Amino acid sequence: MADDPAIRMLQAVNYHADYVTPGWAKTMKRLIRIGHHIFYSRYSEG
């Protein structure tokens, strides 16, 4: 169930289209790519 794309997308706090590279993207954990969108979460602290 953890590999379910819908579940992973719901964990996202940010996303962007694949034709841009925002500066914040390298500071976040990449979760999944769906079509032309890439979804991210924050890295766990601890």
Per-residue pLDDT of the chain (46 residues; tens, 9 = 90+): 557 777 777 788 999 999 999 999 999 999 999 999 999 998 875 4
Provide the pLDDT for residue 1: 54
Looking at residue 28, what is its pLDDT? 95
Q: What is the pLDDT of residue 45?
A: 57
30: nearest Cα among 6, 46, 9, 45: 9
Selection from 44, 11, 24 nearest residue 32 by Cα: 11
Q: Is 35 a member of any domain?
A: yes
24 falls within a domain: yes
Q: Which residues contact 30 (CB under 8 A, 6 or more apart)?
A: 38, 39, 40
The answer as to whether 33 is a domain residue is yes
How many independent structural domains does the chain possess?
Answer: 1
Instruction: Say how far apart CA 45 and CA 37 lie, in whole Å.
Output: 25
| Global pTM value | 0.78
Q: Does residue 46 belong to any structural domain of this protein?
A: no
